[in-house]
Structure 1
Amino acid sequence: MRRSSELSPPRKQIRAAIYCRVSTDERLGQEFNSLDAQRECCESFIAARKLEGWTALPGKYDDGGWSGGNVERPALQRLLADVDAGRIDAVVSYKFDRLSRSIKDFALLLESFEEKGVVFVSVTQQIDTSSAAGRLLQNVLVTFAQFEREVISERTRDKIRMSKEKGKWLGGCPPLGYDRAKEGCALVVNEAEAARVRELFTLYVQERSLLRVAQIANARGWRSKTWTTKKGAQISGREFTKTSLQQLLVNPIYAGRIAHQGRTHKGQHSPIVDDRTFAAVQRILEEGRRRPVGRGPNANAYLLGGLVRCAACGSTMTTGTTTKGDVRYRYYVCVRAKKLGAAACPVRSVPAPELETFVVNRIRALGRDPELVAEVIERTKHAQREGIPPLRAEDRAIAVELQRLKNEAARLVAALAGPGDGSATACGKLADVERQVEQLRARQALIREEIAALSKATVDEADARAALECFDPIWQHLTLEEKTRLVRTVVERVEFDGRAGEIEIRFHPLGLASLAEELTATPEPPALPKGATA
């Protein structure tokens, strides 16, 4: 007679992976932290199902200090890779929002689990996707989780608006002339710095020149705000530039007001500058903005605008004009010298026609010199090969910084639950974090577009040679707009060294490929008039 165990089919083993996550890393150094608590709870759940064949996988999938707003988390990515490889039969989590707080991401994750035959279980919410009821409850809970995030976001914006309307300063770096109060989130006047601020306003009314006032301030050894963060980091002041000085002069906080979304509200802090002086400065600045500088038929006649760098100091060179009588002279001007004065850089400017003529003649000569063509093509290919790794490195660095900012945002959202000034400070910092995230995402999109373009681009030597040979004959027949576009297609950067009298042209890795495609394309022959013969 057979034993009962021999009559029963072998029970299938279910390999269960435990996923744990916390949004902040503040208490991860403790002997028993939140991740440990989540794992222990999940292990108890799996142990209770041991007779059903469940067993906990030894590997840890823990994301400590990572937001649940996206799926770009290292442990989660390892988990998904193991799911794809067929090494996991079930994913167990303390709560469903440990896996994701986004409806879209959560649905996609569950869809990928289902395709691989993987079950998801939320221990504390009795969600088991192996049943229809569990899947229904799971979708309802995820919907409410996203609703909660949107409500928090709306409350944050409302709290910022109401705090600003009440004239509250919401934190960050105090403006020059003010210090942060020892208790709460408020501004108190720093009399030594305030005297300098008043002097800057007075100087501008007298001089009516941002550059001149910045030079005077720097000569006196004045700097922007030096302050210490709550974490003890020292932020040193910097020299004044035209831009930083203008930002100081237009800041309504010095007139005792708080700005928000284009409007100002009476602040709870003491003003440093009287209304009359502040209004006078704004009128002078507005007059400067209205003055038609560099406008006219030649205002945009810069073939190399945005491409020229000063080799002497490493700064960019912007466009500028001077007028003597009826003649307008165009220049490329070192930005550092323009902001800080002639003493800041030995190379102040270079006449635009001379620099543009040199660059254009250099490009036109390429088609007549086979060795020069080969050299440029080889340098272009090298630049293309060398251009991708640093872009990818920057992309990874941005991803890390974005995650840090998301974790910081999660911490600030949690702080909003607290009453009083601490909550107001969190509102201001959260707005700054959101602005930084937006800027980083825009930069990341540009980087990824450039990586994709560099990866796909090819520089065919024959086509590039033919394109460069076509460049010289057609140049004289192009309009100014066409010439500018063509130069910008080929040239990535022009390094001007006024001390050594040298000019280096760096060709764009994608420029020769684009130029070859454009200039070597065979146009369709024009239609002959009716009755005419070829």
Structure 2
Amino acid sequence: MPNLRKIEAAVPAIREKKKVAAYARVSMQSERMLHSLSAQVSYYSGLIQKNPDWEYAGVYADDFISGTNTVKRDEFKRMLADCEAGKIDIILTKSISRFARNTVDLLETVRRLKDLGVEVRFEKERIRSMDGDGELMLTILASFAQEESRSISDNVKWGIRKRMQNGIPNGHFRIYGYRWEGDELVIVPEEAEIVKRIFQNFLDGKSRLETERELAAEGITTRDGCRWVDSNIKVVLTNVTYTGNLLLQKEFISDPISKQRKKNRGELPQYYVEDTHPAIIDKATFDFVQEEMARRRELGALANKSLNTSCFTGKIKCPYCGQSYMHNKRTDRGDMEFWNCGSKKKKKKGTGCPVGGTINHKNMVKVCTEVLGLDKFDEAIFLEKVDHIDVPERYTLEFHMADGCVVTKDCLNTGHRDCWTPERRAEVSMKRRKNGTNPIGASCFTGKIKCVSCGCNFRKATRNCKDGSKVSHWRCAEHNGCDSPSLREDLLEQMAAEVLGLDAFDAAAFREKIDRVEVLSSSELRFCFKDGRTVSRNWQPPERVGRPWTEEQRAKFKESIKGAYTPERRRQMSEHMKQLRKERGDKWRKEK
């Protein structure tokens, strides 16, 4: 009989559509460029939707954004996020320069997309990122695009500098006190009054900090409604524009790719244009303010009247941090004066001073008096003879004298010890007797539990249990030679509630009625009421209940023991036992 085999009809496979998106960008804000961006969006929307094998995934467009980096390109970053989410398979773009003008950014982005399985197609260059030689061509052409960006930047800079040579500023910059009317700077009267006031305060000898506080107290703010701060006031005092003249090219962009802006400190020529607009401050006053600022800068902290300065201000230096030591006071422990390195103000990790520690002010004055050979310290002689003091290591001062010699002296910090005067000791003792030794975070038992045998208070301690919980205990502060028991807080609360006749422990009632709890022995407590009554109770420490080992723990312990007894260890123990038998004879075992 012949064999029959049925051949099923082949079901045609349905091709999965590719999710295709497009990216467009223009970098200049103009009507022509806006039309160009609109044309790119329309073109790619139609192109994708006409292809039957493609599924439209959208068009991402950044307008008026440079392609030298990706920081401000929100649509570009949104497109990459959608690629990460699997919403895009192919990206279409007009050219490499539209996608990125930074070679590093371009290659990193293309490689990242390639790892996600997303292909980028550059129409003008006819490059596909998934092709074998695609990355090589991208590298070469991206370098051209980056250099083209540099060339455009250089051409723009050349045009700006040519205009500056003719006295034309680069755009309408913002400046407090003026506004632009067409191409002319016009004074804003109410703002000009604040500018004059800032200059007048400085001429009157006030510091910028004093001016800041004065303006804040009167509610005077900047044009944007922000508080006047030291940096804003400094900008006003140093801006030559207020004299009716312009100084052009005070700043410049060093790199067109990174867009890093730098202050022009002589790297490029500057152009001084006179009488371009009405002045708020006359030139003579402005020049005098600049000279005064230079003088104060030379004096440093001594020029700032708002600071509490002394003859040591700016004289004590850290040779490692390059910072001056700063004067500090503490009043919570008496009048403690000390100096520490200015780097302590820095919050960045790893910027701490390697010397550390502080310099006690009184001890430093004594050491200075000794170095200068005086019976009594004299500030004038110190300023005349001492150039500066270095702190090479903790509690060591290195005096660099004006005549060139160097004297090294020890200066111990005894501030904490010196502040414990008899008066302060009595004050602290009274406070502790009243409030306990730990008033911060204290409980109702703090300072109430007394050890009769040694006279110490009980202190709270916390122990971690194996199950992750914590148990609080009260123990005598005398650790050595005292046999008072450790009182578990939860059991102590139960006993106190029973003594007070309460169903549940009440901390407020305990504070109100109980004067103290005396620990008479390891098994007896006495509750002393404020009305004179006493109640004794026997204390039964809870039995410690262990947990049996699991089989896993036993096996782990056995393995660790086996691993510890190496042949070398066995040999050492054997030699040790032989030596014991030799020394002790027949009675080598310890007697029980």
Asked which structure has the greater CA Rg, the reply is: 2
Structure with more of its chain in strand, by fraction: 2
Structure with more of its chain in helix, by fraction: 1
Q: When the two structures are superposed, what TM-score results if normalisation uses the length of structure 1?
A: 0.43
Q: When the two structures are superposed, what TM-score results if normalisation uses the length of structure 2?
A: 0.40
Q: Which fold has the larger relative contact order, with Cα–Cα distance below 8 Å and residues 6 or more apart in sequence?
A: 1
